[in-house]
Amino acid sequence: MSHHRVEVTDLAFSYPDGPPALDGVSFLVTHGESVALVGANGAGKSTLLMHLNGVLTPTSGVVRIGDVPVTKKTLPDIRKTVGMIFQDADDQLFMPTVYEDVAFGPMNLGLPPQDVETRVRAALEQVGALELRDRPPYRLSGGEKRAVAIATVLSMNPSMLVMDEPSSNLDPRARRRLIELLRSFEHTKIIATHDLDLALDLCERTIVMNAGRIIADGPTLQIFKDEGLLLAGGLEQPMSMQRCPSCGGMR
């Protein structure tokens, strides 16, 4: 049985005060895949992500992680398997110091103190933030916060990473570093993003959402070449695929 598989079938969800946020979403992500989830603001990306580890409960439809359906009973296992990285690192870093924040997940898993220590070290080393361990989160830069937020999830040894806008608010160098970091992970990845260049760099497959539905699902390059499709999804081609503004040629 592989934990690294996500199957979403006919998922529908409405917030109490609005029209359906998800309207019959289905897809399958298999072991080791990197999938970009793109679409305009309000297309339903974040809502979809929150169903993947059971933070939201669908109105109808099923989410399966591996062979396990996401239900109240399976939540502890699901949350161990699916590492969720939130859009605003300030929401993710709520403990007094970086160390305690990264240790939060492993402590809740009930690991013995030595194992917690090993995991925290390993996770912080992996994101290159070991020297930040005793700092309070509100004293970190945006890039550092993002790195630590990723470490807080890695320390739980998830099989899968689910990320919401990982490159937002980062300066170009921090963004580049993040891309390299994410590339080094072998986890199954689902990344919701407006940064189509990042999608092009990291994900071989892209899902385009619009108004709570999937309007396209296929190889990233192929989807990004279809300008009409991108336009329909409220997007535009990534910079690296647009014609050079000064000479009109392709890069």
Partner 1 sequence: MSRIEAGLYQLGRLDRLAAQDTSVHRLDPRAKVVTTLVFLGCVVSFGKYQVLPLLPFMIFPIVLATDGRVPLGYLARKLLYVAPFALVIGMFNPVLDRAALAEIDGIAISGGWVSFISILLRFALTTSAALVLIGTTSFNGVCMALERLGAPDVFATQLLLLYRYIFVLGEEAASMTRARAVRSFGGRGMGLHVYASMLGHLLFRTYDRANRVYRSMLSRGFDGQIRIARPLRLGGRDVIFTLAWSTIFVLFRVFNVPLLLGQAVTKVIA
What residues make contact with partner 1 under the rule CB under 8 A?
Answer: 50, 53, 55, 76, 79-80, 83-84, 86, 88, 90-92, 94-97, 99-100, 103-105, 107-109, 113, 116-117, 120, 136-139, 152-153, 156
CB of 74 to partner 1, least distance (A): 13
Q: Where are the alpha helices (DSSP H) in 7-112?
A: 45-52, 75-81, 89-92, 98-108
CB of 94 to partner 1, least distance (A): 5
Q: Which is nearer to partner 1, 92 or 188 (CB)?
A: 92
CB of 79 to partner 1, least distance (A): 6
Q: Left, alpha or beta for 110 (phi > 0: left; psi -120 to 50: alpha)?
A: left
Q: Which is nearer to partner 1, 97 or 237 (CB)?
A: 97
CB of 50 to partner 1, least distance (A): 7
Token pair 């916060």 is found at 145
Q: Which is nearer to partner 1, 26 or 97 (CB)?
A: 97
Q: Which is nearer to partner 1, 152 or 206 (CB)?
A: 152
Q: Which is nearer to partner 1, 13 or 86 (CB)?
A: 86
H or E segment at 14?
strand 6-14
Q: Which is nearer to partner 1, 109 or 232 (CB)?
A: 109
CB of 201 to partner 1, least distance (A): 26
CB of 82 to partner 1, least distance (A): 8
H or E segment at 201?
helix 196-202
Question: How many Cα atoms sit within 13 Å of 160 on the Cβ side?
Answer: 29
User: Phi then psi for 57, rounded to 5 degrees?
Assistant: -110, 130
